[in-house]
Amino acid sequence: MTKSVWHINKTIDLDLPADRVFAYLCRWDTVEEWDPTVFAARKLTKGMPGVGSRFAVNLRMGWKRIPMIYRIREMAPPRLIVMAGQGAGFRAVDRIRLEPRPVGTRLTYAVEITFDQRHSPLADRIGRALFDHYASWTIRRLQAVLNGFPRSVPTLTPMTRLADRAILPGLIGFTSLGYTLGKHRRPVASALYAGRTMVLTGGTSGIGRAVARELVRRGAKLVVVGRDAEKLNQLRKELAGLPAEGTIETEQADLSLLAEVRDLAARLLRRHDHIDVLINNAGALFNRYHRTREGIERTMATDLVSPYLLTRLLLPPLKASGDARIINVASGGMYTQGMRAEGLTPRPSDYDGPTAYAQAKRGLVILAETWARKWAASGISVHAMHPGWVDTPGLERSLPAFHRQLRPWLRTPAQGADTIVWLAAAPDAHRASGSSGWIEKSVRPMFLATHAVHQKTILNW
């Protein structure tokens, strides 16, 4: 009896150049990012991928789990990759051809599966139909994680507005349940992070530390800014030891002091002729009033004035990128406050830490909307995002009652970091610059109805 042999051949066009697509697809441990039939993959051999490199891949077919071992059988950079896979009772050969185009790459994906035994005619017909269905799904997914989802650019929908106005559905989105519901939404390929220069403030603890870890894992050239030299050193050692494609460097600066912000920007300008992503994550809630030695209330200096100044000083390398992103990390506390001019310069007698923090974060959201319009022609997209309610030492220290009451529902720092990491590379996000705000890779309203009356306070910064 002859063996059953199944074939597919699919072609797609990608926006990335052929060498970047080739480098990404050689890393077969990333196959789970784009193949929905794969639930786990890992590299078995050390070093850069090459002929003979081996990978363990686990497939899911209905309720079954099917382990396979793949190896790179042939490579011809940047035009050809041939992968040979072995499973129980079958073999697979994946042949990927890349053809450079004037803009981007044409990819042709052919797969041949050979079974040790022949199926019955009925089983063979059903199997071929399912194989073609999953192959079509997989190739569309590969195109989507590299190009984005052009037919469904995120927008603020009437349903989302209704959910937020109903309060409870909107608040559920801030919890760990909201993360669980949205974590698989709009996947993005790690290839879109590889080699891109990203600057992250406040990256030594909490959400920022989780962001740093994930960006380096995905291949970014990351610069982490922090105030504490020892924490920066620990982070650098930790991330340098990861089996990751990215790199990390650190910069020490107290971002509550504008002189140090200017010195930081000067150092970054000397070392980097372009910056692809700036993540304004640093922030703190101070329950006691304090003025910095430069005469600015500490919350406003750290959480609003500092990211404003750093962003403006880094505009030249951001514009030089041609495809840069600015991400302002906001907070759920801002929903309690509209923007008030007097809130930007609080007095000792009426100072309230959570109120000052909410005002500063709301200012960041308004700046994101404004910057998006101002710098669109320079290829810069600007986003405000809310990481949800995250269990961090800062939250426990600043708002102990809130932390105690909601602790079972709080997100982990890695869950809070997820949308920040996504915004740093997702093509969908770049096309939706200036949207109201992001929570779980969805556009959400971040303004109170009264914000437009007061936003002129900072629009001309």
Percent of the chain with pLDDT over 90: 59
- The helix or strand, by DSSP H or E, that contains position 264, with its residue range, turns out to be helix 258-271
- Specify the range with the lowest mean pLDDT, choosing from 212-216, 289-293, 384-388, 409-413: 409-413
Q: What torsion do the CA atoms of 448, 450, 455, 457 make, to the nearest 10 degrees?
A: -130
- In the predicted model, is pLDDT for residue 450 greater than 60? no
**What are the structure tokens assigned to 448, written together?**
């109170």
Say which of 24, 70, 179, 357 is annotated catalytic: 357
Specify whether the CB–CB gap between 221 and 247 falls below 8 A. Answer: yes
The pLDDT of 1-29, averaged and rounded, is 91
Q: Which of 34-38, 66-70, 153-157, 198-202 shows the lowest mean pLDDT across its residues? A: 153-157
Band of pLDDT at residue 437, cut at 50, 70 and 90 = confident
Give the DSSP H/E element, type plus range, for residue 24: helix 18-26
What is the mean predicted confidence (pLDDT) over 245-255? 94
Distance (Å, whole) CA 263 – CA 2: 73
Read off the DSSP letter of residue 96.
E
The answer, yes or no, to whether residue 196 has pLDDT greater than 60, is: yes
Residues 196 and 266 in one domain: yes
Within-domain flag for 427: yes
* Of the candidates 388, 437, 396, the residue with the CA atom closest to the CA atom of residue 413: 388
pTM: 0.85
Whether 97 and 204 share a structural domain: no
Instruction: Clarify whether residues 268 and 242 are in a common domain.
Output: yes
Residues 143 and 189 in one domain: no
Q: Is the pLDDT of residue 435 over 80?
A: no
* Least confident segment among 12-21, 173-182, 326-335: 173-182
CA distances for 58 relative to 5, 285, 349, angstroms: 21, 45, 62
Neighbours of 161 (CB within 10 A): 14
CB of 156 closer than 8 Å to CB of 436: yes
Q: Give CA torsion, residues 276, 249, 264, 226, to 10 deg.
A: 110
Give the C-alpha separation, 369 to 435, whole Å.
Answer: 7
- Where is pLDDT greater, at 461 or 301? 301
Predicted pLDDT at 219:
93
446 and 335 in a single domain? The answer is yes
> By the 8 A CB rule, do 222 and 215 touch?
yes
Amino acid 390: pLDDT: 74
What mean pLDDT comes out for the span 13-32?
94
Instruction: Clarify whether residues 310 and 438 are in a common domain.
Output: yes
Q: Are residues 9 and 52 in the same domain?
A: yes
Higher pLDDT: 442 or 81? It is 81
Region 25-29: mean pLDDT is 94
pLDDT at residue number 203: 94
Q: Under 8 Å CB-to-CB from 334, ≥6 apart: which residues?
A: 358, 359, 361, 362, 365, 446
Higher pLDDT, 355 or 393: 355
Domain holding 83: CATH number?
3.30.530.20
The pLDDT, as a whole number, for residue 152 is: 61
4: confidence class by pLDDT, cuts 50, 70, 90: confident
346 and 213 inside one domain: yes
- The pLDDT, as a whole number, for residue 332 is 62
Residue 383 resides in a domain: yes
Give the C-alpha separation, 366 to 460, whole Å. 11
Residues 216 and 274 in one domain: yes
What's the pLDDT score for residue 150?
62
pLDDT by residue (tens digit) across 312-364? 999 999 999 999 999 999 876 665 556 665 556 778 888 888 888 888 888 89
Task: Assess if residue 260 is contained within a domain.
Answer: yes
Residue that is last in its domain, among 95, 126, 147: 147
Containing 362, the helix (H) or strand (E) segment is helix 353-375
Which residue, of 147, 165, 181, is where some domain finishes? 147
Question: For 39, phi and psi rounded to 5 degrees?
Answer: -110, -10
- 103's CB contacts (< 8 A; 6+ apart) are 15
pLDDT at 336: 57
pLDDT at position 47, please?
87
Please tell me which of 61-75, 244-258, 263-277 the model is most confident about, judged by mean pLDDT: 263-277
- Looking at the DSSP bridge assignments, the partners of residue 93 are 84, 112
User: What's 2's DSSP letter?
Assistant: P
Q: What is the mean pLDDT of the segment spanning 276-291?
A: 93
Q: What is the CATH number of the domain that holds 211?
A: 3.40.50.720
What would the mean pLDDT of 5-20 be, rounded to a whole number?
95
> What was the pLDDT predicted at 294?
95
Calculate helix-pair angle for 229-240, 206-217, nearest 10 degrees: 30
Return the bridge partners of 38, or none: 59
**pLDDT at residue 310 in the model:** 98
Q: Is the pLDDT of residue 303 over 70?
A: yes
φ, ψ of residue 117 in degrees (nearest 5): -125, 150
Same domain, 127 and 203: no
How many domains is the chain built from? 2
Q: Model confidence at 441, in pLDDT bands (50, 70, 90)?
A: confident
Instruction: For residues 127 and 199, state if they share a domain.
Output: no
Residue 459's pLDDT is what?
41
Q: Is residue 152 part of a domain?
A: no
**Where in 314-426 does DSSP place strands (E)?**
325-329, 381-385
Catalytic residue at 357?
yes
Do 376 and 232 reside in the same domain of the chain?
Answer: yes
Reduced 3-state DSSP string for 86-120: EECCEEEEEEEEEEECCCCEEEEEEEEEEECCCCC
Instruction: Kindly state the average pLDDT of the residues 306-313.
Output: 98
Residue type, 195: G
Domain end call among 147, 167, 202: 147
What was the pLDDT predicted at 135? 93
Beta bridge pairs of residue 61? 64
Q: Which helix (H) or strand (E) holds 396?
A: helix 393-398
Tokens 């050193």 found at: 233
DSSP codes of every residue in 210-228: HHHHHHHHTT-EEEEEES-
Mean pLDDT of the chain: 86
Minimum mean pLDDT among 116-120, 340-344, 364-368, 373-377: which range?
Answer: 340-344
Burial 240-251 (b: 16+ CB within 10 A, else e): eeeebbbebebb
Q: How far is CA 123 from CA 8, 59, 115, 127, 198, in A?
A: 18, 20, 13, 6, 51
Give the confidence band of 304 by pLDDT, cuts at 50, 70, 90: very high
In a domain, 255, yes or no: yes
Domain of residue 75: give its range: 5-147
